[in-house]
Amino acid sequence: MRIRPKRLQKGDTIGIVSPASPSEEASLQRSLEFLEQLGLQWKFGKHVYDKDGYLAGSDDDRRKDLEDMFADPTIKGIICARGGYGTARFTDQLDLQLIAENPKIFWGYSDITFLHTAIGLYSNIVTFHGPMLASCVGKDTFHELSGKMFQQLFEPMELHYTEDISPLTTVSGGVAEGELVGGNLSLLVSTLGTKFELETSGKLLLIEDIGEEPYRVDGLLNQLRMAGKLADVAGIVIGDFANTEPKKQTAPVSLDALFDHYLGDLGKPVVKGFKIGHCEPHFAVPLGVQAQLDANQKTLTILPGVD
């Protein structure tokens, strides 16, 4: 069982970091009003606005900001400003023992998936796959339900996803329970062959992605298959796959056909259509807690992520 971080209280201070790509300052500033509404204070990482090409500053500076937030006893939770690219560049240098000794809420998604996986493996802490500040909260498209998902940080609550939220489709029937793991598909595949390789045995695997054409999703799913990561899962939760329309293929294969091909005959429950990922609303979920996927009733139930 992973350690569940302590819940937030009104008046707590959260740390804001940019572990991957640079944030748009105006959007990040707009997101602060939402934090005020939650009753939270905030502290920026020293390098949150740094820019180094497609990275938010140097690898060492981004890593140090993250470590400093975990080490700071006044910081009760950490929310990433945005994803993009770059977290994997410093994860092998990250002080995961420091994080293990200072468990606290860590929230983000997309490129942050690499950190979720590493922290889960080596720090044994529940983390949260949820909408980030500059790229989601500070945008005009930020959905009311996305905002409500932050309430799970203030009190332990069981999450229930049904078709009241979005239409769901059963790829393969059945019911399974297991620890919910995963996140962005391309980032999960990038862990293969490293010390941060995704563990899927007996677990419910969440996958989502953005900007990957069907032939790319085909390759990513096939690599998971050949690495033995699909055969031993308990079940699969398919989140949102945004902006995946083929650009040049004259006879494109649909994502639905790919999901059927790779996931339909596993003999495990598989359901697609969850609004989890690069979408609005974005249903935020804790990673590393027990969950149940009922592909017959098309429901996902997830135990609380905070203590």
- Residues 161-171 have pLDDT tens digits of 999 999 999 99
- Tens of pLDDT along 241-279? 999 888 876 667 899 999 999 999 999 999 999 999 999
Fold classification of 13-153 is Rossmann fold (3.40.50)
276: number of Cβ within 10 Å? 26
Q: Could you give the residue numbers annotated as active site?
A: 110, 208, 278
Please state whether the peptide bond connecting residue 214 to the residue before it is cis, i.e. omega within 30 degrees of 0: no
Q: Is 0.95 surpassed by the pTM of this model?
A: yes
Residue 260 to residue 272: CA distance in whole angstroms: 10
Q: Where in the chain is the domain with CATH 3.40.50.10740?
A: 13-153
Domain 159-302 is of which CATH architecture?
Answer: 3-Layer(bba) Sandwich (3.50)
Type of residue numbered 151: Q
What was the pLDDT predicted at 246? Answer: 82
Q: Where in the chain is the domain with CATH 3.50.30.60?
A: 159-302
% of residues, the chain, pLDDT over 70: 99
Q: At what angle are helices 214-226 and 255-263 packed, to 10 degrees?
A: 10
- Tens of pLDDT along 20-34? 999 999 999 999 999
What was the pLDDT predicted at 249? Answer: 65
Residue 35 to residue 260: CA distance in whole angstroms: 41
